Structure 1
Amino acid sequence: MKKDIDIPQVKNVFIAAVREKHEEYGSLDWNIYLINDRAEAIEGVLIVSKGYDGKKETSTMRHSITNLPPQSFAKVEFLQDDVLQLNNEFSVSFFAEGKMFHKKFVFQKNSINEKALQDLPVMPKKGVLLK
């Protein structure tokens, strides 16, 4: 039965951690973005996130995006500095091409840092990218 279910491979959809200055407080914060580098929009996006490491675990957060146009990005959530020491998982599900897609992205603990910055697709910024 399970072998009969077609789960298409996710391509050109990414999660990125971007270090940005908070306008109101002037602090440098890490924010998570969903990037759609596809030629078509993705719809009905559901993102479930959590941080974990052994006995430590954060609350599970759920986010939704109705429609993310092609070649665009959307801010998902802010990451506090203390959760950067945990594995941070983002489970992303969406509809495109009349099919449902799903992919799990995991930032390994301490992998979100200034040394890991790189150019990002679609966004005119640098960040830590998960493909």
Structure 2
Amino acid sequence: MKEELKGPKVEGISVAVAFETAETGDRIYNVYLLNKTADTLENVLVSSKGYGVNAMTEEKIETSVLRHSLGDVAPQKAQKIEPIMEQVFGLSNEYWISYWIGNKMYDKKFVFLAETITEQNAIDLPLLECTGVMLGE
């Protein structure tokens, strides 16, 4: 019974923080959902938040929870979720993705741990023509 409650396994879906360059030449950061499957993701919903602890004061820090409706995401496509500020890279940044394929609902949580969104962890991102940090397959 516990297995039934887990829902279907999420495969071929990733969340990435892309390191991009604005028209002004400044470095900007955007979060993307990458659909590397052969299926259209239907009615995609994303909630995002950041959280952590101030090392000096040991005070808990939380950002606002943001909710995004991305609609449908075509196969082998990337969809921008939101811009992200460099100031929150010191927090854990969580993205909870929910979507439908046919009559099955899928959901998965992706968490960029504090201080992991860095140049040292950057890779060439699939479906995007830039580098960044990716979670998922």
* TM-score normalised by structure 2 residue count: 0.88
Q: Which amino acid aligns with 1:49?
A: S
1:45 to 2:50 alignment: no
Structure 2 equivalent of residue 34 of structure 1: 33
Q: Once the 2 structures are TM-superposed, how far is the Cα of residue 17 of structure 1 from its aligned partner?
A: 0.5
Does the residue aligned with 2:29 lie in a helix, a strand or coil?
A: strand
Instruction: Find 1:85's aligned residue among 83, 90, 114.
Output: 90
Q: Once the 2 structures are TM-superposed, how far is the Cα of residue 122 of structure 1 from its aligned partner?
A: 2.2
Does the residue aligned with 1:82 lie in a helix, a strand or coil?
A: helix
1:63 to 2:62 alignment: no
1:107 to 2:112 alignment: yes
Identity %, equivalent residues: 39
**Uncovered stretches (5+) of structure 2, i.e. residues with no partner:** 54-59
Q: Once the 2 structures are TM-superposed, how far is the Cα of residue 58 of structure 1 from its aligned partner?
A: 0.5
* TM-score normalised by structure 1 residue count: 0.92
Q: 1:122 to 1:56 in 2, by over 3 A?
A: same
2: CA distance, partners of 1:5 / 1:89? 22
**Uncovered stretches (5+) of structure 1, i.e. residues with no partner:** none
How many residues get paired?
A: 130
Q: Once the 2 structures are TM-superposed, how far is the Cα of residue 97 of structure 1 from its aligned partner?
A: 3.4
2: CA distance, partners of 1:18 / 1:124? 9
1: CA distance, partners of 2:25 / 2:91? 25
